[in-house]
Amino acid sequence: MQWRRVIKGEVKFAMMLSIHERLPSVYVHIPFCEVKCGYCDFFSVPRGYEDFDLQNQYVEALIREMQGRLEPHRGRVIHSLFFGGGTPSLLDPTLLERILHTLRTFLSWGPETEVTLESNPKTVSLEKLRTFRSLGINRLSIGVQSFQDRFLKTLGRIHSGADARRTVDDALKAGFENVSCDMIFALPGQTFEDWQKDLQEAISLGTPHLSAYHLTIEGGTAFDGLHRKGKLNLPSEEEGVRCLTWTREALKAAGLDAYEISNFARIGRESVHNKNYWEYGEYFGFGTAAASFTKNPNRMRRTNVRDLKKYVAGQYAGSNDGSSETISPQLAMGEFCMLGLRMREGIEDERFQAEFGCSLSAAFRPQLTKWQQRGWLERGARSWMLTADGLLFADEVAASFLP
């Protein structure tokens, strides 16, 4: 039972559009990290952040990619902008400003459009956060993971619990009203009481958004190697279920509703960018290992090369190391359902019909019937949603919709 993390003005306008007219989101990957955490399978380059010349070379490559791909979209309004990584907060603000300037040359967004920067405690000062805010970053996603130093050490994090608390406080002082904290449960050696302590501390900070992820052992990570050798003391599946159930109850009581399996927010503070992914919206991805998804004229997914040197040398997607695929209608329908099931609203009939030109029940009657009879899926007024029991088996249910 584990889940993998698989976007007033323009935003308000985007919500009024049909699914075929929806505005795209933009993702920019910044791969630099201080260290590689044991559980992380995202593409990152430890220690490279110290070399300003390397950062500059990478940003130059980003700008070239943007210039080459965005000319056909010049003047287009975007739904959201997200800087992920890696640790984007390690990037020199002058370089971040250059990226933003390049994007604004081709694309348009307003002051109310969500612009997110991922950050880690101990990589930012109050002054640096104020600079990021002045550049137009209006949402900060902070990788806290735990407030207890022993678990942070196990995870390979460089910060302490005190650093995490200070970073959240500095973010508020710097003018960020939209702040999210990432937390992880079911850590090696962690008890239910340990997780309660962590989440209650996160709640006490008063951020309007929290992400609470069940630790996933991804192939090829340091944790994967330890797990295969039996050296990772993970909590039982029953303990993980207990943590998940309590998390949803505790956050709801604190005014943070579950709008997605692992994400909780106060009304109006849901992640616009991530919702675009889960709602099968289009997105442009720039940077090494970044993915893009477009629908016109065909549904296409492209992924950039996962190699910093090759990317800096000008090898993006379409090279031997990048990938591009046309998504079949059957796969697209399955992905739409898989992502929709993560959301509180579930798989919406009207959106499915608009996207694919056929009804959800016609496309997936066997799956809907099976999981409804088992009590893991229920029929709402306009959609199909996971039940409380179904949430515990979300991966199994979602996989059944894929070809």
For 10-277, CATH number?
A: 3.20.20.70
pLDDT at 44 over 60: yes
Summarised one tens digit per residue, pLDDT across range 173-231 is 999 999 999 999 999 999 999 999 999 999 999 999 999 999 999 999 999 999 999 99
> Do 5 and 398 form a contact (C-beta atoms < 8 A)?
no
State the pLDDT at residue 327: 96
> Do 212 and 251 form a contact (C-beta atoms < 8 A)?
yes
Helix (H, G, I), strand (E, B) or coil at 229: coil
State the pLDDT at residue 203: 97
State the pLDDT at residue 27: 98
State the pLDDT at residue 16: 36
pLDDT at 10 over 90: no
Q: What is the mean pLDDT of the chain?
A: 91
pLDDT at 329 over 50: yes
CA distances to 298, 348, 350 from 345, in Å: 27, 7, 12
| Matching fold, domains 10-277 and 343-403 | no
More confident residue, 7 or 276: 276
State the pLDDT at residue 323: 83
Residue 87 neighbours by CB under 8 Å, 6+ apart = 30, 32, 33, 34, 44, 49, 118, 119, 120, 123, 143
More confident residue, 51 or 256: 256
State the pLDDT at residue 144: 97
**CA distance linking residue 224 with residue 318, whole number of Å:** 30
Q: How many CB atoms lie within 10 A of CB 278?
A: 22
pLDDT at 17 over 60: no
SS (H, E, C) 149-203: HHHHHHHCCCCCHHHHHHHHHHHHHCCCCEEEEEEEECCCCCCHHHHHHHHHHHH
pLDDT at 13 over 80: no
The rounded percent of the chain whose pLDDT value lies above 90 is: 88
State the pLDDT at residue 318: 55
Mean pLDDT for 93-115 is: 97
pLDDT at 242 over 80: yes
- φ, ψ at 82 (rounded to 5°): -140, 125
- φ, ψ at 100 (rounded to 5°): -60, -40
State the pLDDT at residue 175: 96
CATH topology of domain 343-403: Arc Repressor Mutant, subunit A (1.10.10)
**CA distance linking residue 380 with residue 266, whole number of Å:** 23
CA distances to 21, 164, 241, 303 from 283, in Å: 13, 31, 33, 12
Beta-bridged to residue 32, according to DSSP, are: 45
Alpha helices by DSSP H, listed for 279-348, are 308-312, 329-340
Q: Which of 19-28, 172-181, 245-254 has the lowest mean pLDDT?
A: 19-28
pLDDT level of residue 8 (50, 70, 90 thresholds): very low
State the pLDDT at residue 50: 73
The residue extents of the domains of the chain are: 10-277, 343-403
Residue 260 neighbours by CB under 8 Å, 6+ apart = 274, 275, 278, 342, 343, 344
Query: What radius of gyration, in Å, describes the C-alpha atoms of the chain?
Result: 21
pLDDT at 315 over 90: no
pLDDT at 46 over 90: no
Secondary structure E strands in 3-136: 25-30, 32-33, 45-46, 76-77, 80-85, 107-108, 114-119
**CA distance linking residue 304 with residue 302, whole number of Å:** 7
Mean pLDDT for 115-130 is: 96
Mean pLDDT for 361-388 is: 97
Q: DSSP assignment of 315-332, as one string?
A: --TTSSSSEEEEPPHHHH
State the pLDDT at residue 179: 98
State the pLDDT at residue 163: 96
Mean pLDDT for 99-111 is: 97
